[in-house]
Structure 1
Amino acid sequence: MNEIQNRQHVVKRNRPERTMEGDAFSFFAITALRLAGHLTAAGDRLAKPSGQTSARWQVLAAARHGDLSVAQIARALGITRQGVQRLADVLEGEGLIAYAGNPQHQRAKLVLLTAKGAERLGAIERAQAGWANEVGAAFTPAELEAACAVMVRAMEILESDEGHHG
């Protein structure tokens, strides 16, 4: 047996066995990660004319609620509090958000959208609406609802797992 065949044999022998469902979920996960990359890139393109990125756009959209702290925005977006804090500080420096006192927690300020921030967010959301309409036209509502239901169930399972093992 030559060296390449020997290596392939060792790799195959050391690979854990997965069920059909495990293989299908692994393919789903890889596909979801690839899709997330494409969505982030599309979001960056949509936000760029307003001088923003996908990440900043998400914080601006969360700031619209006006009753969320940095930590609450981080939990909602599934990213670190420190990451949201850095983005929020940049957005505050640009006059797009402001911090306000939080009656629930003295040290955790609320993140508020300013008028300038609302203007930028509106421009991004108008661009996103046209893009979403165009991409969405390639699917039926039922296809998208089914795909969304699978993703929501996967997130619930993974969030439950994090609670048990995290």
Structure 2
Amino acid sequence: MNDTDRPLPPDELGHRLTDVFDLVGPLYRRALRKVEQGEPVEGASVGVRSVLDLLRKQGDMTVPQMSRIQALSRQFVQRMVNEAAAHGWVEIVPNPAHQRSSLIRITEEGRSLIATVLGREHTLNRQVGGDLTDAEVRACVRVLTEMLKTFDHVDVD
């Protein structure tokens, strides 16, 4: 095992992960701007896009569940759900497990919209250069997942 294959000591890891944060912020903001450029055509904000994609992946959920998963305030998620419902992209249905917290369900119109948005994002992601390998992408996902776990306990409300 060479030095690059050994786990970093905590102090060095902290400095290296700062480099990651320094890239993630601008990347996130630029990606949001690019996604929002499609908003006039599709009508979905980045927040609504996140709600629709989560419902597409996970199925029916409550606002508090979506809030926890996305690390966003319940109030923000509720506004996004309301916006999506006003466009007919989600519907609010009774929750047999909890009377006061309705389930949010994606509609066929919502599925069609998120498929369009994801298709556009996929086209953009295909343009990423650097001859990246599967191992490099897996490593990146692993690093970001570990970083995310560190902040799972942060309360957003």
Q: TM-score, normalised by structure 1?
A: 0.76
Q: Which runs of 5+ in 2 are unaligned?
A: 1-10
CA distance in 2, matches of 1:44, 1:80: 21
**Alpha-carbon displacement from aligned partner over 1:119-162 (angstroms, at most 9, x marks no partner):** 212211222222222227742222111111111111112325x4
Residue of structure 1 equivalent to 2:24: 32
Instruction: Give the alignment of 1:58-137 within 5 angstroms.
Output: 58-64=50-56, 65-135=58-128
| Alignment CA distance shift 1:101-1:56 (3 Å) | same
Residue of structure 2 equivalent to 1:45: 37
Between the aligned residues of both structures, percent identity stands at 22
Aligned residues: 144
Richer in helix (by share)? 1
| Alignment CA distance shift 1:129-1:66 (3 Å) | same
Given that 2:92 and 2:103 are in contact with CA atoms closer than 8 Å, whether structure 1 keeps it comes out as yes
- What code does the residue aligned with 2:19 have? F
Question: Bigger radius of gyration, 1 or 2?
Answer: 1
CA distance in 2, matches of 1:27, 1:105: 43
Shift of 1:107: 0.9
Q: TM-score, normalised by structure 2?
A: 0.80
- What code does the residue aligned with 1:149 have? R
Q: Which runs of 5+ in 1 are unaligned?
A: 1-18
